[in-house]
Chain A
Amino acid sequence: MNFDDTPQEAAFREQARAWIAANAPKQYEEELRKASLGRTQLKGANVLDVAKAWQKKKADSGWACLHWPKEYGGRGASPIERVIWQQEEGAFGKLSAMFIIGHGMCGPTMMAFAAEDQKRKYLPPLASGEKIWCQLFSEPAGGSDVAGLRTRAERQGDDWIVNGQKIWTSGAHYSDYGILLTRTDPTVPKHKGLTMFFLDMKSKGVEIKPIKQANGQSEFNEVYFTDVKIPDSQRLGAVNDGWNVALTTLMNERMSIGAGVATGFPELFEFCSGLMLDDGPALDDRNVRARLANWAVKASGLKHTSFRAISALSRGERPGPENSIGKLVAGSMIQEIAMYALDLEGAAGVLSGPEAELAGKFQAMLLRAPGTRVEGGTDEIMRNIIAERVLGLPGDVRVDKDVPFNQVPTKGRA
């Protein structure tokens, strides 16, 4: 049991560290380090521009999408090397937020299902951040029930005509391309009538409307399709086999375990360390100590769980469904922590933005946190994954399983 790199890993880490030290946009390091959930702002600069420039620089020197093959813009690195890179990239990794969907999900899906010439055309600019991709899966009628989607694609010669609506599409407003899951046969059970495509987000008939979130920001969008034409050559996988293609996409999410998940705990501990309550320092207060200790062991438990996963990667094993616990634990934790920090501020905790303690860091966290528990699978879906795929419990009863999609009820109360 040790925390040491193998000689090869150590050499790789050294190389990555040296390159980052020489090339990273250090003028933003402090701001990035302090950025917490719900707030990444850079004074006097547009985050998107800074992020694209950093990604391009990485790509030009072979540090982008490390685990992708070289011919598609990657480095052909091992999963463990990718983890080492994420550890070394540290706060600068926060600049990758807008590329995560493209790099983590769209890219691997293209790699598995697109034609060779398409891969060579689309993947390198995706890796270098010149083109941004989004993933068009969720719909108003199917959130956690992804396969319940209703956007339809109908064949018309060499093209498909798409009509419908997507929702919760991260970054659609600045994306160049997207992968799109559609219904191509409503007369069969839901999983059997889906087909996957990729498309140019500037196509005629695509309309993008940012969604204003509960916290006032807009990271997600509604995307409307009105007679959008997609060539059949941009189909990914066989007609009506889209569910299997989508599963490939979703499975790839799990590979990014290196950088560790945000819990809000370091921020809370730092805040409490300097805080005076009416009867003395907050860290002397029995109640404060009990709450902090409870979250501290969750945060360290998550950190060391990721170290165990990294060890498995290092041995050449693939991460399993047990890695679903990170988001599940961190999501509600960050929400509780944010509210607790405000509680410690007393009545003034209600103020936010520049008026507030720490420029409203915890207020911003509180308002963003509910999203963490929903995006990429709700807490309930995460618990189902653990119960079914780790503990081997039976799947939920699915009354729509063998029913043709167009006969599945659409309203709860008639």
Chain B
Amino acid sequence: MNFDFSDDQKQLRDQARKFLAEKCPPKAVRAVLEGKAAYDRELWKGLAEMGFLGVAIPEGYGGAGAGHLELCVIAEEMGRALAPVPFSSTVYLAAEALLLAGSDGQKKQWLPKIAAGEAIGTLALFEGKGNPSPQGVKLAASGGMLNGVKKPVPDGAIADFAIVAARTGSSGRETDVSLFLVDMKGGGVEAKVLTNLDPSREQAELTFRNCKAEPLGPASEGWSILTRVLDRAAVLTAFEQVGGADRALEMGRDYALDRIAFGRPIGSFQAVKHMLADMYVAATLARSNCYYGAWALSTNASELPEAAAAARISATQAFHHCAKNNIQVHGGMGFTWEFDCHLYYRRAGALALSLGSQSYWEDALIDCMRKKNAA
């Protein structure tokens, strides 16, 4: 058994961590959070030059063709650094959907641009409140035209193309949903930036009015493709969350060692130590679940849906737990704008709600376990 990343993959992790420490310090995150820019263009360019955007894209489509374990390693570092770039929307959602269901032409058109940092992509799935479900897809497609509203769409206002889930039937089944690819520069779609929990990552509302769209994958298989995209993105997002959780834990630990109260470092008080120990436990369980998800993702194992749900649930719990208790360890300082604690707290909240909330993944996990048990 080798339930760990290889030496090469660990080296890639070190390389990514070093790069991000230099190009993406907290002040770069704040520049996006507090400023007008939708994302850090310099960082995005740098990530492309490092080959990180196309790490899991095959060489034939302009990527590095390394694989998904490598992408997991990078995702963790993106999470640690809170990178203010459209990485998850472009790489986990749009690129994965293209890889799974795109035609050769669609892949040739967009994947090399993604790898080169020349195209931002996203997935337009949600229509207001609610979790992913075939019934929740109301936006209508007919005659190659889309009409309806999607929100929230991550990076929707800066995307060059979007994968859009649309209703193409009225049978009341999953097969009513189909996926479409929309060139956002082609007209027919209007984007509005929405205020959100974590302004270092943008969310938008997209309104489609007779917007021209090309099908992505077979017409009736939209929902089954979507759930596979969500499972894959869940593993990758879980790595981002674990990266964030680990960093929040480190920040709390470091502060507890430096800050003196009642004549002692506060980290010597058992109440504080135990809070940090529980943060470590949460992050460790989540990391182990993520490793299983990484294995399932990289081998395309039949266990992927269950592994993805488990990684997603525990990583969401761990990031929230570590981010909120990092603020608690910092006391009043932790609640100031000036300290970086809230950056992690915001990102933890935003990531928890992307890809469907906790209850969606709980349902997915129990359904998988039930099926396995019945078999």
In the complex the two chains form, what is the Cα distance from A301 to B293 in whole Å? 11
Among A204-212, A390-398, A399-407, the one that faces the other chain is A390-398
> Interface 1/0s, chain B 270-293, versus A by CB < 8 A?
101110111011001110110110
> Interface 1/0s, chain B 331-365, versus A by CB < 8 A?
00000000000000000000000000001011101
Question: B313 and A391: CB pair below 8 A?
Answer: no
> What total of chain B residues lie within 8 Å of the partner, measured CB to CB?
48
Closest to B364 in A: A293
Q: Which residues of A contact B280 (CB under 8 A)?
A: 325, 386-387, 390-391
Among A163-171, A282-290, A335-343, A366-374, the one that faces the other chain is A282-290
Closest to B249 in A: A391
Q: Does B257 contact A (CB under 8 A)?
A: yes
Contact of A397 (CB < 8 Å), options: B5, B268, B295: B268
Closest to B256 in A: A393
Q: Which residues of B contact A297 (CB under 8 A)?
A: 285, 289, 310, 313-314, 317, 365
> Interface 1/0s, chain A 284-323, versus B by CB < 8 A?
0010011011101110111111011011101000000010
Question: A289 and B366: CB pair below 8 A?
Answer: yes
In the complex the two chains form, what is the Cα distance from A307 to B309 in whole Å? 19
In the complex the two chains form, what is the Cα distance from A187 to B314 in whole Å? 51
Question: Besides the contacts A1-B4, A273-B373, A304-B289, what 10 more A-B pairs have beta carbons closer than 8 Å?
Answer: A1-B5, A2-B295, A292-B366, A293-B361, A301-B310, A305-B285, A314-B1, A387-B277, A391-B249, A394-B265
Q: Given A311-B4, A391-B253, verify A301-B285 contact (CB < 8 Å).
A: yes
Q: Which residues of B contact A (CB under 8 A)?
A: 1-6, 69, 249, 253, 256-257, 264-265, 267-268, 270, 272-274, 276-278, 280-281, 284-286, 288-289, 291-292, 294-295, 298, 309-310, 313-314, 317, 359, 361-363, 365-366, 369-370, 373
Question: A393 and B2: CB pair below 8 A?
Answer: no
Q: Which residues of B contact A397 (CB under 8 A)?
A: 264, 268
In the complex the two chains form, what is the Cα distance from A35 to B306 in whole Å? 27
Question: A1 and B273: CB pair below 8 A?
Answer: no
Nearest first, the 7 A-B pairs at minimum CB distance are A301-B285, A387-B273, A304-B288, A293-B362, A394-B268, A383-B277, A297-B314
Question: B273 and A304: CB pair below 8 A?
Answer: no
Question: B257 and A393: CB pair below 8 A?
Answer: yes
> What total of chain A residues lie within 8 Å of the partner, measured CB to CB?
50
In the complex the two chains form, what is the Cα distance from A397 to B289 in whole Å? 36
**8 Å CB interface, A182-211 against B:** none
Q: Which residues of A contact B253 (CB under 8 A)?
A: 391-393
Question: B289 and A300: CB pair below 8 A?
Answer: yes
Q: Which residues of A contact B2 (CB under 8 A)?
A: 1-2, 4, 311, 314
Question: A380 and B274: CB pair below 8 A?
Answer: yes
Q: Which residues of A contact B289 (CB under 8 A)?
A: 297, 300-301, 304
Question: A1 and B291: CB pair below 8 A?
Answer: yes
Q: Does A329 contact B (CB under 8 A)?
A: yes
Closest to B265 in A: A394
Question: A325 and B370: CB pair below 8 A?
Answer: no
Question: A302 and B268: CB pair below 8 A?
Answer: no
State how many angstroms separate the Cβ of B339 from the closest Cβ of chain A.
20
Q: Does A384 contact B (CB under 8 A)?
A: yes
**8 Å CB interface, A248-273 against B:** 269-270, 273
State how many angstroms separate the Cβ of B215 from the closest Cβ of chain A.
35
**8 Å CB interface, A90-115 against B:** none
In the complex the two chains form, what is the Cα distance from A384 to B269 in whole Å? 10
**8 Å CB interface, A354-394 against B:** 380, 382-384, 386-388, 390-394
Q: Does A30 contact B (CB under 8 A)?
A: no
